[in-house]
Structure 1
């Protein structure tokens, strides 16, 4: 049989199981030897005292040839010891013939004849005195004795004042046995629960860090039982692979942007030289405008990439008012300059954890889009629950068709309606906003507004720090 490694989870469960079985086996094997209610040989020290009682009895009734007189004397002596508290601890004596027939009748309430008969039947050899506990009395015998010229057997009943063995009390009282088993097994179960929970909690904390964008391996995951060590090693390997993939993507975008910026710079310089030599023309202006748009697109692509890889850095816990009060105030001023009205409520007094720059940029992008596309009014509403803050921005602009509400967060996607036809944007603004919200474990949903335009709903988790 192959035994599991003790460092593994199954090995620990296996060890606890066999340890429990070993304890039960020892208890079962030891109980017959500890149980005084089981007949066994009398110890030598106890037997010497019984022999001394026999010698005293033979000396006391040695001159009598009347067996009835002897039996009456023994009976009176037992009765006196039973009725006197002072002598109640002294042994009681009983006589039988060699065939095991009791020679005197006992009517005492604390000892019955049938008990003595039961003990006599358990004795295998008259030459080997045995002992057995009955209730509160320990019976010992038979011991050969000669009285009134007859060979008889002597049995002695000694009051048992010792408490019963611990295991005996446990098996006699099932509730106490259950309590002891629970007390003994609880430390092992607590240890097993701790051994299981600690690696699981470390893995949970590591997973939460990765969910927040921290792609760093955790060496502590590779400790504990073999199953959790394997899971931790696989988790760290996965984190390293993801980190390498994201870093490779970031390097690729950086290299591409660098390679694209060089010809764009040369193109704009050539356009400027051509304008200086030949004068301004609509064709040269169009070339310069498209070059600027392309450069803007490259910058936004880099911003989106940096946001995806570095969102876990520079995280802080700040009040919502310090994050967005200035954003809403500036957007309200901008709307007034355009002849529009922006309403926003009092910002709830809650704490938000994350990158302040990303959180402000995400909300600012949504609000400025609403100001840009709204015809007359923009409405901002905010509310907080026990765990989240909800920001809703609505406008009365042209809106977005229902079939395209889920597509507007895709990079480079351009809405087919008038809302985005001539905006001049790159189609990356909402993709960057969504990335920032998702990096903070939030959600952003686009829907149709009751004002007639677009409705953007943002939900972000709060912190209790």
Structure 2
């Protein structure tokens, strides 16, 4: 019996040592940049749960590194064009013969500086939300006063566009359970997107029933092609020329919309609108 116990003990120690070496080797590989490294341990291993935690960490690290590379590439792309224009306009200002030429080029430089300022603001916002998922506490939200502030901002944006764009709000719910600040940011982003692409009309609908809550933002613009309806929610993705021709954003707003929707336990989607353009929906 003592021999059997000793044999079982040595076997258990050997298995433990083997699994520890596997985890150690995987950690070394991960530190060397091999982000696809994973540890596969037997379900009976005393380190099985540790291996699962390691794999979860490695997967998250791979996602973060991919996001970092994407962010770096996108930022360099977004910065290149306004900086090139600023350099070009600066040379024109230095060579300007008349005050009117100088004033014209200074105005264009100011526009590019505003563009860079908006880009920096969106990047900071995205970075803050990317760092960690906040603790989202859903609370009872009275729809009318909450939506009134968003409507005021929307009508200001419509006024700045300077045409006859119609903005309609349909409220089919008295209360929602949501985080007011984040949800307002998401709806504001959808509204800004719709104002950018709509031809004549935008409709915002808020509804809630026992199955959940939904906010729809419809427009009569060019819509989103079926093949791009997931891509539009990817950071820094911007569509083809047909929808992008009037775009002044950086492809961050819709990514934030989906992130906020998922913090609420829901999602953001896009489909066809009865108005003829796109229908963006936040559901939770």
If the length of structure 1 is used for normalisation, what is the TM-score? 0.40
Distance 1:320 1:234, change over 3 A: farther
Counterpart pick for 1:374 among 183, 186, 198? 198
In the TM superposition, what is the alpha-carbon distance from 1:348 to its structure 2 partner? Answer: 2.0
What SS does the corresponding residue of 1:360 show, helix, strand or coil? Answer: helix
Aligned residues: 235
Q: 2:130 aligns with which of 294, 308, 315?
A: 308
Per the TM alignment, residue 362 of structure 1 is displaced from its structure 2 partner at its CA by 0.8
The answer to whether the aligner puts 1:419 opposite 2:243 as a matched pair is: yes
In the other structure, the counterpart of 1:178 is: none
2-side partners of 1:381 and 1:313: how far apart? 27
Residue number in structure 2 paired with 1:317: 139
> Would you say 1:459 and 2:283 are equivalent positions?
yes
**SS of residue paired to 1:339:** coil
TM-fit CA distance, 1:340 = 2.8
Select the structure with the greater relative contact order (CA < 8 A; seq sep ≥ 6).
2
Structure 1 pair 450–365 and aligned structure 2 pair: CA distance change class (3 A): same
SS where residue 303 of structure 1 aligns? helix
Q: 1:330 aligns with which of 123, 130, 153?
A: 153
What SS class does the counterpart of residue 232 from structure 2 fall into? coil
Q: Are the equivalent residues in 2 in contact too, given 1:332–1:341 (CA < 8 A)?
A: no
Change (3 A) 1:380 1:353: closer
Distance across 1 between alignment mates of 2:103 and 2:113: 16
For 1:368-410, what per-residue CA distance to the aligned partner results, in whole angstroms no more than 9, with x for missing partners? 2223322322222232232420111111223233333333223
Alignment partner for residue 165 of structure 2, among 333, 340, 347?
Answer: 340
1:411 partner SS: coil
Partner of 1:352: 177
Gaps of 5+ in 2: 10-42
Separation in structure 2 between the aligned mates of residue 242 and residue 357 of structure 1, nearest angstrom: 30
Residue 349 of structure 1 and its aligned partner are, at CA, apart by 3.5
- Give me the whole-angstrom Cα distance separating, in 2, the residues matched to 1:248 and 1:375: 39
Contact 2:154–2:192, Cα closer than 8 Å, also in 1 = yes
Gaps of 5+ in 1: 6-225, 461-465
CA distance 1:388–1:232, shift in 2 (3 Å)? farther
1:308–1:439 contact (8 Å) kept in structure 2: no
Quick one: structure 1 residues 387 and 311, their matched pair in 2 at CA, closer, same or farther if it must change by over 3 Å? farther
Residue 284 of structure 1, CA deviation: 6.2
- Find the aligned partners of 1:434 and 1:400 in 2 and give their Cα distance: 16
User: Does the C-alpha gap of structure 1 residues 299 and 250 become closer, same or farther in structure 2, counting only changes over 3 Å?
Assistant: farther
Q: TM-score, normalised by structure 2?
A: 0.61
1:459 CA drift (Å): 0.4
Distance of aligned partners of 1:294 and 1:227 in 2 relative to their CA distance in 1, 3 Å threshold: farther
Match of 1:362 among 182, 186, 201: 186
Go from structure 1 to structure 2 and tell me whether the alpha carbon gap of 1:339 and 1:242 turns closer, same or farther (over 3 Å shift). same
Q: d(CA) in 2 for partners of 1:376 and 1:270? A: 36
Deviation at 1:235, TM superposition (A): 5.2
How far apart are 1:305 and its partner, in Å?
2.5
The aligned runs of 1:189-268 (5 Å cut-off) are 230=47, 232-234=49-51, 236-237=53-54
CA separation of 1:374 and 1:399: change in aligned 2, threshold 3 A: same
Give the aligned partner of residue 233 of structure 2: 409
- CA RMSD, Structure 1 to Structure 2 (Å): 4.4
